[in-house]
Protein backbone atom coordinates (compact mmCIF):
# COMPACT_ATOMS: atom_id res chain seq x y z
CA UNK A 1 0.00 0.00 0.00
CA UNK A 2 1.41 3.36 -0.94
CA UNK A 3 1.99 6.09 1.56
CA UNK A 4 0.24 9.17 0.19
CA UNK A 5 2.24 12.33 0.76
CA UNK A 6 0.32 15.28 -0.59
CA UNK A 7 2.23 18.41 -1.57
CA UNK A 8 5.54 17.08 -0.18
CA UNK A 9 7.42 18.45 -3.15
CA UNK A 10 6.37 22.13 -3.09
CA UNK A 11 9.02 24.40 -1.55
CA UNK A 12 8.46 27.98 -0.43
CA UNK A 13 10.43 30.43 -2.50
CA UNK A 14 11.12 28.01 -5.38
CA UNK A 15 11.95 29.92 -8.57
CA UNK A 16 9.14 30.18 -11.12
CA UNK A 17 9.13 28.95 -14.72
CA UNK A 18 12.55 28.32 -16.27
CA UNK A 19 13.87 27.56 -19.73
CA UNK A 20 16.87 25.36 -20.58
CA UNK A 21 19.14 24.38 -23.44
CA UNK A 22 19.01 21.99 -26.40
CA UNK A 23 20.14 18.39 -26.85
CA UNK A 24 19.93 15.25 -28.95
CA UNK A 25 19.25 11.56 -28.41
CA UNK A 26 22.71 11.00 -27.00
CA UNK A 27 24.24 10.95 -23.54
CA UNK A 28 25.25 14.24 -22.00
CA UNK A 29 27.07 14.60 -18.71
CA UNK A 30 27.29 17.53 -16.37
CA UNK A 31 29.84 17.67 -13.58
CA UNK A 32 29.73 20.98 -11.82
CA UNK A 33 31.43 21.88 -8.57
CA UNK A 34 28.97 23.68 -6.35
CA UNK A 35 29.77 27.02 -4.76
CA UNK A 36 27.39 26.81 -1.86
CA UNK A 37 27.28 28.11 1.64
CA UNK A 38 28.66 26.01 4.48
CA UNK A 39 25.15 25.50 5.75
CA UNK A 40 24.00 23.88 2.52
CA UNK A 41 27.15 21.77 2.21
CA UNK A 42 26.75 20.42 5.73
CA UNK A 43 23.45 18.83 4.72
CA UNK A 44 24.85 16.92 1.77
CA UNK A 45 25.09 13.17 2.11
CA UNK A 46 28.58 12.03 1.12
CA UNK A 47 29.86 8.51 0.67
CA UNK A 48 33.18 7.22 2.01
CA UNK A 49 35.30 5.21 -0.41
CA UNK A 50 37.99 2.64 0.37
CA UNK A 51 40.58 5.41 0.41
CA UNK A 52 38.61 7.31 3.00
CA UNK A 53 37.90 10.15 0.58
CA UNK A 54 34.44 11.62 0.18
CA UNK A 55 32.53 11.48 -3.09
CA UNK A 56 29.57 13.46 -4.37
CA UNK A 57 26.01 12.19 -4.66
CA UNK A 58 25.57 10.79 -8.19
CA UNK A 59 22.24 11.37 -9.95
CA UNK A 60 21.08 10.24 -13.38
CA UNK A 61 17.97 11.58 -15.12
CA UNK A 62 16.58 9.47 -17.97
CA UNK A 63 14.42 11.34 -20.51
CA UNK A 64 11.83 9.96 -22.92
CA UNK A 65 12.68 12.69 -25.38
CA UNK A 66 15.27 15.39 -25.92
CA UNK A 67 16.30 18.45 -24.00
CA UNK A 68 15.62 21.75 -25.73
CA UNK A 69 11.86 21.24 -25.94
CA UNK A 70 11.20 24.44 -23.94
CA UNK A 71 8.58 22.38 -22.15
CA UNK A 72 8.42 19.26 -19.98
CA UNK A 73 11.98 17.98 -20.40
CA UNK A 74 13.57 21.39 -19.99
CA UNK A 75 11.54 21.92 -16.83
CA UNK A 76 12.86 18.68 -15.36
CA UNK A 77 16.39 19.63 -16.37
CA UNK A 78 16.10 23.03 -14.71
CA UNK A 79 15.27 21.31 -11.43
CA UNK A 80 18.26 18.98 -11.62
CA UNK A 81 20.62 21.78 -12.71
CA UNK A 82 19.51 23.80 -9.70
CA UNK A 83 20.39 20.79 -7.54
CA UNK A 84 23.86 20.71 -9.13
CA UNK A 85 24.36 24.36 -8.20
CA UNK A 86 22.93 24.04 -4.70
CA UNK A 87 24.29 20.66 -3.57
CA UNK A 88 27.32 19.91 -5.74
CA UNK A 89 25.91 16.63 -7.02
CA UNK A 90 27.27 14.81 -10.05
CA UNK A 91 24.61 14.71 -12.77
CA UNK A 92 24.18 12.69 -15.92
CA UNK A 93 21.34 13.20 -18.42
CA UNK A 94 20.35 10.31 -20.68
CA UNK A 95 18.15 11.32 -23.62
CA UNK A 96 16.24 8.93 -25.85
CA UNK A 97 13.30 8.99 -28.24
CA UNK A 98 12.37 5.30 -28.65
CA UNK A 99 11.30 2.54 -26.23
CA UNK A 100 14.53 0.64 -26.91
CA UNK A 101 16.55 3.70 -25.92
CA UNK A 102 14.46 4.29 -22.79
CA UNK A 103 15.01 0.73 -21.59
CA UNK A 104 18.72 0.74 -22.43
CA UNK A 105 19.28 4.08 -20.71
CA UNK A 106 17.51 2.95 -17.54
CA UNK A 107 19.56 -0.26 -17.36
CA UNK A 108 22.76 1.68 -18.03
CA UNK A 109 21.99 4.02 -15.13
CA UNK A 110 21.27 1.07 -12.85
CA UNK A 111 24.51 -0.69 -13.75
CA UNK A 112 26.56 2.47 -13.29
CA UNK A 113 25.69 2.60 -9.61
CA UNK A 114 23.99 5.99 -9.32
CA UNK A 115 22.61 6.97 -5.94
CA UNK A 116 19.40 8.22 -7.55
CA UNK A 117 17.88 7.49 -10.96
CA UNK A 118 15.00 9.77 -12.00
CA UNK A 119 12.72 8.52 -14.75
CA UNK A 120 11.31 11.72 -16.18
CA UNK A 121 7.99 10.41 -17.51
CA UNK A 122 5.44 7.61 -17.53
CA UNK A 123 7.11 6.14 -20.64
CA UNK A 124 9.50 4.42 -18.21
CA UNK A 125 6.79 2.82 -16.07
CA UNK A 126 6.91 -0.74 -17.41
CA UNK A 127 10.72 -0.83 -17.37
CA UNK A 128 10.97 0.53 -13.84
CA UNK A 129 8.37 -1.95 -12.60
CA UNK A 130 10.46 -4.76 -14.06
CA UNK A 131 13.94 -3.67 -13.03
CA UNK A 132 13.64 -1.66 -9.80
CA UNK A 133 13.38 -4.84 -7.69
CA UNK A 134 16.64 -6.09 -9.25
CA UNK A 135 18.50 -3.02 -7.95
CA UNK A 136 17.30 -2.67 -4.34
CA UNK A 137 20.23 -0.43 -3.37
CA UNK A 138 19.41 2.17 -6.03
CA UNK A 139 16.92 4.90 -5.24
CA UNK A 140 14.50 5.64 -8.07
CA UNK A 141 11.91 8.33 -8.76
CA UNK A 142 9.35 8.47 -11.55
CA UNK A 143 7.30 11.46 -12.62
CA UNK A 144 3.73 11.44 -13.98
CA UNK A 145 2.82 7.94 -12.86
CA UNK A 146 3.09 5.48 -9.98
CA UNK A 147 5.37 2.46 -9.57
CA UNK A 148 4.78 0.36 -6.47
CA UNK A 149 8.22 -0.58 -5.16
CA UNK A 150 10.02 0.11 -1.86
CA UNK A 151 12.90 1.92 -3.58
CA UNK A 152 10.73 4.06 -5.90
CA UNK A 153 9.30 7.49 -5.13
CA UNK A 154 6.39 8.42 -7.43
CA UNK A 155 5.37 11.99 -8.26
CA UNK A 156 2.16 12.88 -10.09
CA UNK A 157 0.39 16.14 -10.87
CA UNK A 158 -3.21 17.30 -11.08
CA UNK A 159 -2.77 18.28 -14.72
CA UNK A 160 -6.53 17.81 -15.05
CA UNK A 161 -7.05 20.80 -12.74
CA UNK A 162 -4.64 23.03 -14.62
CA UNK A 163 -6.18 21.95 -17.91
CA UNK A 164 -9.66 22.73 -16.57
CA UNK A 165 -8.56 26.34 -16.16
CA UNK A 166 -6.95 26.31 -19.62
CA UNK A 167 -10.10 24.89 -21.20
CA UNK A 168 -12.24 27.51 -19.50
CA UNK A 169 -9.94 30.27 -20.71
CA UNK A 170 -10.01 28.89 -24.26
CA UNK A 171 -13.80 28.66 -24.26
CA UNK A 172 -14.11 32.28 -23.15
CA UNK A 173 -11.45 33.50 -25.57
CA UNK A 174 -13.12 31.93 -28.61
CA UNK A 175 -16.11 34.20 -27.98
CA UNK A 176 -14.04 37.40 -28.28
CA UNK A 177 -14.78 38.12 -31.94
CA UNK A 178 -13.55 41.69 -31.64
CA UNK A 179 -10.00 40.29 -31.45
CA UNK A 180 -8.26 39.71 -34.79
CA UNK A 181 -8.18 36.02 -35.68
CA UNK A 182 -11.13 35.01 -33.50
CA UNK A 183 -14.12 33.78 -35.50
CA UNK A 184 -17.74 33.35 -34.49
CA UNK A 185 -17.55 29.56 -34.14
CA UNK A 186 -17.54 27.96 -30.68
CA UNK A 187 -14.68 25.61 -31.58
CA UNK A 188 -11.37 25.12 -29.80
CA UNK A 189 -8.54 22.64 -30.33
CA UNK A 190 -6.12 20.41 -28.43
CA UNK A 191 -3.00 18.67 -29.78
CA UNK A 192 -1.05 16.12 -27.73
CA UNK A 193 2.23 14.30 -28.24
CA UNK A 194 2.09 10.56 -27.56
CA UNK A 195 -1.26 8.90 -26.94
CA UNK A 196 -0.63 7.92 -23.31
CA UNK A 197 -2.86 7.99 -20.20
CA UNK A 198 -1.38 11.13 -18.64
CA UNK A 199 -2.29 13.14 -21.74
CA UNK A 200 -5.85 11.85 -21.52
CA UNK A 201 -5.90 13.25 -17.97
CA UNK A 202 -4.92 16.60 -19.47
CA UNK A 203 -7.71 16.34 -22.02
CA UNK A 204 -10.42 15.32 -19.52
CA UNK A 205 -9.77 18.51 -17.56
CA UNK A 206 -9.55 20.67 -20.68
CA UNK A 207 -12.88 19.39 -21.97
CA UNK A 208 -14.60 19.78 -18.59
CA UNK A 209 -13.33 23.34 -18.17
CA UNK A 210 -14.41 24.37 -21.67
CA UNK A 211 -17.88 22.86 -21.23
CA UNK A 212 -18.22 24.50 -17.82
CA UNK A 213 -18.19 27.77 -19.76
CA UNK A 214 -20.13 26.60 -22.81
CA UNK A 215 -21.77 23.16 -22.75
CA UNK A 216 -22.21 23.28 -26.53
CA UNK A 217 -18.60 24.03 -27.42
CA UNK A 218 -16.84 21.75 -29.91
CA UNK A 219 -13.34 20.52 -29.05
CA UNK A 220 -11.03 19.15 -31.73
CA UNK A 221 -8.50 16.59 -30.47
CA UNK A 222 -5.40 15.10 -32.13
CA UNK A 223 -2.27 13.18 -31.14
CA UNK A 224 1.00 13.55 -33.02
CA UNK A 225 2.28 10.17 -31.81
CA UNK A 226 5.65 11.68 -30.90
CA UNK A 227 7.33 14.16 -28.58
CA UNK A 228 9.89 15.24 -31.16
CA UNK A 229 8.23 16.33 -34.42
CA UNK A 230 7.42 20.06 -34.58
CA UNK A 231 6.37 19.76 -38.25
CA UNK A 232 3.73 17.17 -37.31
CA UNK A 233 2.51 19.40 -34.49
CA UNK A 234 2.24 22.33 -36.85
CA UNK A 235 0.38 20.29 -39.47
CA UNK A 236 -2.20 19.03 -36.95
CA UNK A 237 -2.73 22.51 -35.51
CA UNK A 238 -3.19 24.18 -38.90
CA UNK A 239 -5.77 21.50 -39.70
CA UNK A 240 -7.71 22.38 -36.55
CA UNK A 241 -7.62 26.08 -37.42
CA UNK A 242 -9.00 25.19 -40.85
CA UNK A 243 -11.84 23.32 -39.12
CA UNK A 244 -12.86 26.47 -37.26
CA UNK A 245 -10.76 26.48 -34.08
CA UNK A 246 -9.10 29.80 -33.28
CA UNK A 247 -7.20 28.61 -30.20
CA UNK A 248 -5.40 25.27 -29.67
CA UNK A 249 -3.78 23.88 -26.52
CA UNK A 250 -0.27 22.43 -26.86
CA UNK A 251 0.45 19.29 -24.80
CA UNK A 252 3.27 17.86 -26.88
CA UNK A 253 6.76 18.62 -25.47
CA UNK A 254 9.19 19.12 -28.39
CA UNK A 255 6.41 18.61 -30.93
CA UNK A 256 4.68 21.59 -29.34
CA UNK A 257 6.98 24.21 -30.82
CA UNK A 258 5.25 23.54 -34.13
CA UNK A 259 1.86 24.03 -32.49
CA UNK A 260 2.87 27.46 -31.25
CA UNK A 261 4.43 28.39 -34.61
CA UNK A 262 1.18 27.45 -36.34
CA UNK A 263 -0.67 30.01 -34.23
CA UNK A 264 1.56 32.81 -35.48
CA UNK A 265 1.52 31.61 -39.09
CA UNK A 266 -2.27 31.34 -39.14
CA UNK A 267 -2.90 34.54 -37.21
CA UNK A 268 -4.56 32.46 -34.47
CA UNK A 269 -3.85 31.56 -30.85
CA UNK A 270 -2.45 28.76 -28.68
CA UNK A 271 -2.02 27.74 -25.06
CA UNK A 272 1.41 26.63 -23.83
CA UNK A 273 2.27 23.82 -21.45
CA UNK A 274 4.66 22.75 -18.67
CA UNK A 275 6.92 25.83 -18.78
CA UNK A 276 5.89 29.44 -19.34
CA UNK A 277 5.71 29.53 -23.16
CA UNK A 278 3.89 32.85 -23.40
CA UNK A 279 6.89 34.55 -25.02
CA UNK A 280 7.66 31.77 -27.50
CA UNK A 281 5.24 33.31 -30.00
CA UNK A 282 4.42 36.68 -28.38
CA UNK A 283 0.89 37.87 -28.98
CA UNK A 284 -0.31 34.42 -30.07
CA UNK A 285 -0.07 32.47 -26.79
CA UNK A 286 -2.99 33.25 -24.49
CA UNK A 287 -1.46 31.59 -21.42
CA UNK A 288 0.49 28.49 -20.44
CA UNK A 289 -0.45 25.68 -18.08
CA UNK A 290 2.65 25.41 -15.92
CA UNK A 291 3.42 22.02 -14.42
CA UNK A 292 6.15 22.15 -11.76
CA UNK A 293 8.26 19.23 -12.94
CA UNK A 294 11.32 21.30 -12.02
CA UNK A 295 10.26 21.41 -8.39
CA UNK A 296 9.54 17.69 -8.28
CA UNK A 297 12.95 16.86 -9.72
CA UNK A 298 14.84 19.28 -7.49
CA UNK A 299 13.21 18.21 -4.24
CA UNK A 300 13.61 14.53 -5.05
CA UNK A 301 17.36 15.08 -5.39
CA UNK A 302 17.34 17.19 -2.22
CA UNK A 303 15.70 14.32 -0.33
CA UNK A 304 18.59 12.02 -1.27
CA UNK A 305 21.19 14.66 -0.37
CA UNK A 306 19.56 15.16 3.03
CA UNK A 307 18.80 11.46 3.55
CA UNK A 308 15.02 11.98 3.71
CA UNK A 309 14.15 10.04 0.54
CA UNK A 310 10.90 8.07 0.99
CA UNK A 311 10.78 4.99 -1.20
CA UNK A 312 7.33 3.52 -1.70
CA UNK A 313 5.66 6.94 -1.39
CA UNK A 314 3.40 8.78 -3.79
CA UNK A 315 2.83 12.52 -4.01
CA UNK A 316 0.08 14.29 -5.94
CA UNK A 317 0.62 17.99 -6.62
CA UNK A 318 -2.46 20.12 -7.22
CA UNK A 319 -3.65 23.65 -7.94
CA UNK A 320 -4.06 24.18 -4.19
CA UNK A 321 -0.37 23.67 -3.44
CA UNK A 322 1.02 25.24 -6.59
CA UNK A 323 1.81 22.05 -8.47
CA UNK A 324 -0.08 23.32 -11.53
CA UNK A 325 -1.28 26.76 -12.56
CA UNK A 326 -1.84 29.14 -15.44
CA UNK A 327 0.55 31.97 -16.24
CA UNK A 328 -0.58 35.55 -15.66
CA UNK A 329 -1.65 36.53 -19.23
CA UNK A 330 0.80 39.46 -19.11
CA UNK A 331 2.33 38.87 -22.56
CA UNK A 332 -0.97 38.59 -24.42
CA UNK A 333 -2.32 41.55 -22.44
CA UNK A 334 0.50 43.74 -23.70
CA UNK A 335 -0.02 42.50 -27.27
CA UNK A 336 -3.79 43.05 -27.32
CA UNK A 337 -3.84 46.33 -25.46
CA UNK A 338 -7.36 47.70 -25.01
CA UNK A 339 -8.85 44.55 -26.57
CA UNK A 340 -7.44 42.31 -23.85
CA UNK A 341 -10.34 40.43 -22.19
CA UNK A 342 -9.77 41.03 -18.47
CA UNK A 343 -12.93 39.06 -17.71
CA UNK A 344 -11.05 35.87 -18.62
CA UNK A 345 -8.41 36.55 -15.99
CA UNK A 346 -11.07 37.32 -13.39
CA UNK A 347 -13.06 34.19 -14.21
CA UNK A 348 -9.98 31.97 -14.08
CA UNK A 349 -9.16 33.32 -10.62
CA UNK A 350 -12.72 32.58 -9.51
CA UNK A 351 -12.60 29.03 -10.90
CA UNK A 352 -9.24 28.36 -9.27
CA UNK A 353 -10.68 29.30 -5.87
CA UNK A 354 -13.62 26.96 -6.46
CA UNK A 355 -11.28 24.09 -7.30
CA UNK A 356 -9.24 24.72 -4.16
CA UNK A 357 -12.36 24.90 -1.99
CA UNK A 358 -13.81 21.73 -3.52
CA UNK A 359 -16.84 23.49 -4.99
CA UNK A 360 -15.60 22.37 -8.40
CA UNK A 361 -14.32 18.79 -8.60
CA UNK A 362 -12.35 18.17 -11.77
CA UNK A 363 -12.69 14.71 -13.26
CA UNK A 364 -9.68 12.46 -13.75
CA UNK A 365 -8.89 10.00 -16.49
CA UNK A 366 -9.10 6.42 -15.21
CA UNK A 367 -6.10 5.56 -13.03
CA UNK A 368 -5.23 9.15 -12.13
CA UNK A 369 -5.96 11.31 -9.13
CA UNK A 370 -4.99 11.38 -5.44
CA UNK A 371 -6.47 7.92 -4.78
CA UNK A 372 -4.83 6.24 -7.77
CA UNK A 373 -2.68 3.24 -7.00
Residues 62 and 121: their CA atoms lie apart, in Å, by 9
What is the per-residue pLDDT for 209? 98
Q: Tell the burial category of 140 from Cβ atoms under 10 Å away from its Cβ (0-12, 13-18, 19+).
A: buried
Q: What is the pLDDT of residue 5?
A: 41
Domain that holds residue 235: 159-291+322-357
In a domain, 367, yes or no: no
343 phi and psi angles, rounded to 5 deg:
-60, -25
User: Is the pLDDT confidence value at 160 over 70?
Assistant: yes
Residue 176 inside a domain? The answer is yes
Let me know if residue 372 belongs to a domain.
no
Q: Which residue has the higher pLDDT, 29 or 178?
A: 178
Q: What Cα–Cα distance (Å) separates residue 300 from each residue in 11, 21, 114, 157, 295? A: 11, 22, 14, 15, 8
Residue 165's pLDDT band (cuts 50, 70, 90): very high
Q: Residues 53, 100: one domain?
A: yes
pLDDT digits (tens, 9 = 90+) for 289-335: 999 999 999 999 999 999 999 999 999 999 998 899 999 999 999 99
* Residue 54: pLDDT band with limits 50, 70, 90: low
Same domain, 144 and 188: no
Helix, strand, coil percentages in the chain from 3-state DSSP, rounded to 5: 40, 20, 40
Residue 112 falls inside a structural domain:
yes
Contacts of 146 (CB under 8 A, 6+ apart): 2, 154, 156, 314, 372, 373
183 within some domain: yes
Please indicate, yes or no, whether residues 176 and 128 belong to a single structural domain of this protein: no
pLDDT tens sequence across 195-209: 999 999 999 999 999
211, 335: one domain: yes
Q: How far are the Cα atoms of 252, 277, 324 from residue 17, in angstroms, in the given order?
A: 17, 9, 11
Same domain, 299 and 277: no
Shared-domain flag, residues 300 and 338: no
- Return the pLDDT at 321: 86
Pairwise pLDDT comparison (10 vs 228), residue with the higher score: 228
133 & 164 share domain:
no
Per-residue pLDDT at 223: 98
pLDDT tier, 373 (very low <50, low <70, confident <90, very high otherwise): low
Q: Is the pLDDT of residue 41 over 70?
A: no
CATH code for position 184 = 3.40.50.2300
Residues 9 and 150 in one domain: yes
pLDDT at 180 over 60: yes
116-119 sheet: strands from edge to edge? 3-4, 313-317, 152-157, 139-143, 116-119, 58-63, 90-95, 27-31
| Structure confidence by residue, pLDDT tens digits, 230-262 | 999 999 999 999 999 999 999 999 999 999 999
With respect to residue 365, please indicate whether it lies within any of the assigned structural domains. no
How many CA atoms does the CB half-sphere of 362 hold within 13 Å?
Answer: 36
The phi and psi torsions of 166 (rounded to 5 degrees) equal -65, -40
Q: Residue 74: inside a domain, yes or no?
A: yes
Q: Is residue 61 part of a domain?
A: yes
Write b or e for each residue in 43-76: b if 16 or more Cβ atoms lie within 10 A of its Cβ, otherwise e.
Answer: ebbeeeeeeeeeebbbbbbbbbbbbbbbbbbbbb
Q: For the chain, what is the domain count?
A: 2
Annotate 50-66 with DSSP letters as a single string: TTS-EE--EEEEEESS-
pLDDT above 60: residue 349:
yes
Cα-flanking dihedrals φ and ψ of residue 69, to 5°? -80, -10
Provide the pairing of β-strand 269-274 with 247-251: parallel
Contacts of 224 (CB under 8 A, 6+ apart): 191, 192, 193, 194, 232, 233, 236, 252, 255
For 138-216, where are the alpha helices, taking DSSP H only?
159-173, 197-213
Amino acid sequence: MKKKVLAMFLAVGMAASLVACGGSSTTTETKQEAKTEEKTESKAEEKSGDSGEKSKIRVCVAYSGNLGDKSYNDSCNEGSQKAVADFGIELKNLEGTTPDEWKANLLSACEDGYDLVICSSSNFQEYLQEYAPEYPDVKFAIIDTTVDAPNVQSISFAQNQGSFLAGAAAAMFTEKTDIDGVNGDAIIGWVGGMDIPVLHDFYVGYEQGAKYINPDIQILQAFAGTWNDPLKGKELTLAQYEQGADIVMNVASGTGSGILEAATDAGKYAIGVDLNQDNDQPGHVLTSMVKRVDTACYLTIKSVVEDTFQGGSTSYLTVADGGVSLTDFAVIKEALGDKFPQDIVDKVAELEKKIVSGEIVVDNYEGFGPSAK
